[in-house]
Amino acid sequence: MEHETVRGRLLYTSKKPEIMDKVRGGETFVITKHIDESRTLRAHCAIDENSPRVLRDSITSVDANWHPTDGFVRLTVDEKFIGSSWYRFTPKYVECEGYTEQEGRISSRIETKEQARLFITHPIQSDAFLTQAYDLSKGPGEQLIQGLVACSFHHRGADGPTLLHRPNDEGFYLRFVGPEKVKVVAGEFDALHFQIGRSTDDAYQGREVHPPYHVWVTADGDYVMLKAHVTGYMQTYYELTEYEKRKNFF
């Protein structure tokens, strides 16, 4: 086989004073970069910290231009199955077929002007992939990213999974802070520092707006999550603790 494989593990910890730096979950992922430069990300994620405790499996694929082509999300919340859904992306529409405990068998479709740009499925490594939508040739700054589809807009992705998009394709802002050297448990890396979303109010405790979300991803074109920090009411921290990149298999 001629593909490339990246395997990693992310540790989820907390920055809340009462559980400072305690482990609150984790994620393992395997990324395949095929010879046609399409990629498949498999992520298995567990969020332990209080209800809703989430166990998520997500397998998503993108083409050589990072546009989503197909996906799958399966969720248990508080140890109960809540849904399992499959997604397919075409240049004209996105479709979802699945089963959720709340809605039963679901079939839905969203018409799109062109192939969707991003598919939000909530693994932390999947969030890292969002940052590839930023045009780095324009240097540090802020860009509006549109063409967004999600399986859930819950901040933990703890409902659905269904097919959702924002009214009027309102998108989200992505800020590129700049290149940095980053040292994490998995090693020292050349990184790109981004902020997802426009909020800069770390003290804001509301849930209507996603708190500031800083992410550092590898600068080698793979966009592997190195570390991330969400402030506000979430106070979550994520760090890459295992990393392996190989030609062919893992």
Q: Is 40 in the site for another protein (CB under 8 A)?
A: yes
CB of 246 to another protein, least distance (A): 12
Q: Which residues, 6+ apart, have CB-to-CB distance to 104 below 8 Å?
A: none
Q: Is 233 in the site for another protein (CB under 8 A)?
A: no
Q: Which residues, 6+ apart, have CB-to-CB distance to 17 below 8 Å?
A: none
CB of 58 to another protein, least distance (A): 9
Q: Is 97 in the site for another protein (CB under 8 A)?
A: yes
SS3 178: strand
CB of 27 to another protein, least distance (A): 12
CA angle, 140 as apex, 6 and 116 as ends, to 5°? 55
Q: Is 108 in the site for another protein (CB under 8 A)?
A: no
CB of 21 to another protein, least distance (A): 12
Q: Is 48 in the site for another protein (CB under 8 A)?
A: yes
Q: Residues 42, 67, 156, 227: which binds another protein (CB under 8 A)?
A: 42
The answer to whether 38 touches 22, Cβ cutoff 8 Å, is no
Question: What's the burial of 232, exposed, middle or buried (CB within 10 Å: 0-12/13-18/19+)?
Answer: buried
Q: 47-82: buried (b, 16+ CB within 10 Å) or exposed (e) per residue?
A: bebeeebbbbbbbbbbeeebbbbebbbbbbbeeeeb
Q: What is the footprint of another protein within residues 15-34 (CB under 8 A)?
A: 19, 22, 24, 28, 30, 32, 34
Beta-bridge partner residues of 73: 58, 85
x/- map, 49-88, another protein, by CB under 8 A: xxx-x-x-x-x-x-------xx-x-x-x--xxx--xxx-x
CA proximity to 62, closest of 222, 243, 244: 222
Q: What is the footprint of another protein within residues 124-183 (CB under 8 A)?
A: none
Residues near another protein (CB under 8 A): 1-3, 19, 22, 24, 28, 30, 32, 34-36, 38, 40, 42, 44, 46, 48-51, 53, 55, 57, 59, 61, 69-70, 72, 74, 76, 79-81, 84-86, 88, 97-99, 105, 249-250
